[in-house]
Amino acid sequence: MCQICRRSFIRGAAALGAAGATELLSSPLMAQAVDTGASKLPPRGEFTIANAYVMTMDGALGDIAGGSVHVRNGEIVAVGKDIAGGGEKIDGTGMIVMPGIVETHWHMWNTIFRSFAGDRLEEGYFPTVARFGQQMSPDDIFQSTRLSAAEAINSGMTFVHSWCHNVRSTAHAEADISALAEVGIRARHSCGWPQGVPDTQSADQAPIESLARDWKSWSNDGLITLGMAWRGQFRAGPIKPEVYQPEFDNARKLALPITVHVASAHKAVNQIEPLYKAKLMGKDVQLIHTLSANAAELDMIKESGCSVSVSPGSELRIGYGYPQIGEMLAKGIPLGISVDTSALTGSSNLFGVLKLARDSENAKAESEFKMTARKALELGTIEGARSMGLDDRIGSLTPGKRADLIAISPNTLNMAVVTDPAHLVLEATAAENVDTVVVDGRILKARGKLVAVDTPKVIAGARAALAGVRERTKWR
Ligand SMILES: [Zn+2]
Instruction: Name the amino acid, one letter, at 337.
Output: I
Q: How far is the CA of 336 from the centre of ligand 1 (A)?
A: 13
pLDDT tens readout for residues 137-147: 999 999 999 99
Question: From residue 124, how far is each of 118, 120, 129 by CA, in Å?
Answer: 5, 6, 9
Report, as an integer, the average pLDDT of 425-432: 98
Q: How far is the CA of 282 from the centre of ligand 1 (A)?
A: 20
pLDDT tens readout for residues 19-77: 333 333 333 323 333 344 445 899 999 999 999 999 999 999 999 999 999 999 999 99
Give helix 455-473 / helix 138-154 axis angle, nearest 10°: 140
Instruction: Find the DSSP H helices in 134-279.
Output: 138-154, 170-183, 206-213, 215-218, 241-253, 272-277
- Predicted TM-score (pTM) of this structure: 0.92
Q: How far is the CA of 202 from the centre of ligand 1 (A)?
A: 19
pLDDT tens readout for residues 69-103: 999 999 999 999 999 999 999 999 999 999 999 99
Contact 322, 362 (CB under 8 A): no
Range with the lowest mean pLDDT among 5-14, 54-63, 423-432, 435-444? Answer: 5-14
Q: How far is the CA of 341 from the centre of ligand 1 (A)?
A: 7
Contact 259, 190 (CB under 8 A): yes
Classify the C-alpha dihedral 151-156-162-163 as positive or negative.
negative
Residue 199 burial (CB count, 10 A): 15
Q: How far is the CA of 122 from the centre of ligand 1 (A)?
A: 19
Q: How far is the CA of 5 from the centre of ligand 1 (A)?
A: 31
Q: How far is the CA of 198 from the centre of ligand 1 (A)?
A: 18
pLDDT tens readout for residues 119-131: 988 888 988 899 9
Whole-number Å distance between alpha carbons of 476 and 473:
9
What are residue 405's DSSP bridge partners? Answer: 99, 438
- Supply the pLDDT for residue 31: 31
Q: How far is the CA of 383 from the centre of ligand 1 (A)?
A: 19
pLDDT at 315 exceeding the cut of 70? yes
Q: How far is the CA of 206 from the centre of ligand 1 (A)?
A: 23
Q: How far is the CA of 370 from the centre of ligand 1 (A)?
A: 26
Report, as an integer, the average pLDDT of 199-227: 97
Q: How far is the CA of 182 from the centre of ligand 1 (A)?
A: 24
pLDDT at 1 exceeding the cut of 80? no
The three-class DSSP label of residue 340 is strand
- Supply the pLDDT for residue 476: 67
Q: How far is the CA of 197 from the centre of ligand 1 (A)?
A: 17
Whole-number Å distance between alpha carbons of 85 and 83:
6
pLDDT tens readout for residues 349-396: 999 999 999 999 999 999 999 999 999 999 999 999 999 999 999 999
Q: How far is the CA of 107 from the centre of ligand 1 (A)?
A: 6
Report, as an integer, the average pLDDT of 417-445: 97
Average pLDDT, the chain: 91
Binned at pLDDT 50, 70 and 90, residue 237 comes out as confident
DSSP letters for 381-429: THHHHHHTT-TTTSSS--TTSB--EEEE---STTT-S-SSHHHHHHHH-
Binned at pLDDT 50, 70 and 90, residue 148 comes out as very high
Q: How far is the CA of 176 from the centre of ligand 1 (A)?
A: 16
- Which residues does 80 contact at the CB level (< 8 Å), separation at least 6? 61, 64, 67, 68
Q: How far is the CA of 310 from the centre of ligand 1 (A)?
A: 9
Q: How far is the CA of 261 from the centre of ligand 1 (A)?
A: 6
Q: How far is the CA of 199 from the centre of ligand 1 (A)?
A: 17
Q: How far is the CA of 340 from the centre of ligand 1 (A)?
A: 5
The three-class DSSP label of residue 75 is strand
pLDDT tens readout for residues 383-405: 999 999 999 999 999 999 999 99
Q: How far is the CA of 259 from the centre of ligand 1 (A)?
A: 10
Report, as an integer, the average pLDDT of 294-303: 96
